[in-house]
Amino acid sequence: MHDTLTLAAAGLAGMALGGLFFAGLWWTVRLGVTSRRPGLWLIASLLLRMNMILAGLWLTGHGNWQRLLACLLGIGLARTIVMILVRPATRTRQQRALRTSHAS
């Protein structure tokens, strides 16, 4: 029971780390497009995000490969969630939204 809770906590920590990492990447790209120095934004953000992920993995894993794996799986799950949340609307979704807004 204790191991299950520890692994679940490591997975949640990974989801939090991954959410911060990928949301930070999305934010950086949006700011970098309008910035005069996009390279500076991207490099600074990369260094900050990588240090955050590495520190989080080191603290969460703490020498245990199962916790490290759970944390990595949480990061992967967070990536999937962030990708779903920030993807641009496809043409069919836009058309569907237009049809439903005109129908009401």
Is the pLDDT confidence value at 103 over 90? Answer: no
Q: Compute CA distances 49 → 10, 24, 26, 52, whole Å.
A: 19, 7, 12, 5
Confidence of residue 87 (pLDDT cuts 50, 70, 90): confident
Q: Tell me what pLDDT residue 88 has.
A: 75
Structural tokens at position 11:
């997975």
Residues 43, 24, 91, 84, Cα dihedral to 10°: 130
What integer is the mean pLDDT of 71-78? 96
pLDDT digits over 41-53, tens only? 999 999 999 999 9
Is 16 in contact with 76 (CB distance < 8 Å)?
A: no
